[in-house]
């Protein structure tokens, strides 16, 4: 497992050190600057002899920097899972400070039985209609009342 804080900083550093291509993208980012960070990030998919490598990386967003925005857009959607943190939850002291509606796992239907997946979809629809702090508080409170995720999902009615 590799923890990278952050893919944005790695791309910025490479932008200042890489050979200049002469082509400058939006925000002052050189066209070559994302080549090495993309290769690094892609290494999780290209492990020799079928090994496993997990890269958990952060990205800086909402910084007001056009360069940061371009970097984020280049990497957005390339991972298997995205967890979006929410400052409003931190300000309200709600933990974990995850925006449930903007977070998720790609192809999550492959990770659980069909009946559990249907219940996850129902849960997501219910939580989507709530503001993020209320959604997280509801989810945490309900999770504390069960021993397993499967038990939690089975406790929900399928309306």
What pLDDT, on the 0 to 100 scale, is given for residue 54? 84
Count of domains observed in the chain: 2
- 55 and 112, same domain (yes or no): no
- 88 and 140, same domain (yes or no): yes
| pTM exceeds cut of 0.85 | no
Give the tens place of pLDDT for each residue, 112-151.
899 889 999 999 999 999 988 899 999 999 899 999 988 8
Give the tens place of pLDDT for each residue, 92-104.
998 899 999 889 9
Query: Nearest to residue 7, comparing CAs of 32, 36, 47, 29?
Result: 36
Dihedral of CA atoms 103, 95, 65, 43 in degrees, nearest 10, equals: -50
Calpha distance 154→156 (Å, rounded): 5
The rounded percent of the chain whose pLDDT value lies above 90 is: 25
Residue ranges making up the domain that contains 7: 1-79
- 154 and 109, same domain (yes or no): yes
> Which of the pair, 136 or 157, is modelled with greater confidence?
136
Phi, psi of 68 (to 5 degrees): -60, -40
- 44 and 113, same domain (yes or no): no
Whether the per-residue pLDDT at 159 is higher than 70: the answer is: no
Peptide bond into 14 cis (omega under 30): no
Whether the per-residue pLDDT at 157 is higher than 90: the answer is: no
- 104 and 71, same domain (yes or no): no
């Amino acid at each position: 497992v590799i923890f990278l804080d952050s893919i944005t900083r790695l791309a910025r550093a490479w932008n200042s050190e890489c050979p200049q291509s002469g082509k400058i993208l939006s925000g002052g980012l050189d066209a070559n600057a994302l080549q090495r960070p993309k290769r690094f990030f892609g290494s999780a998919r290209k492990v020799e002899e079928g090994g496993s490598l997990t890269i958990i990386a952060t990205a800086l967003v909402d910084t007001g920097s056009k360069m940061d925005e371009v970097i984020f857009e280049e990497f957005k959607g390339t991972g298997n899972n995205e967890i979006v943190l929410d400052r409003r939850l931190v300000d309200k002291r709600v933990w974990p400070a995850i925006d449930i509606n903007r977070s998720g796992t790609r192809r999550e239907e492959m990770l659980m039985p069909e009946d559990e997946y249907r219940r996850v979809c129902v849960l997501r629809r219910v939580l989507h209609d709530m503001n993020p702090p209320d959604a997280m508080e509801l989810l945490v409170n309900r999770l504390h009342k069960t021993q397993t995720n499967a038990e939690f999902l089975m406790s929900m009615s399928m309306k």
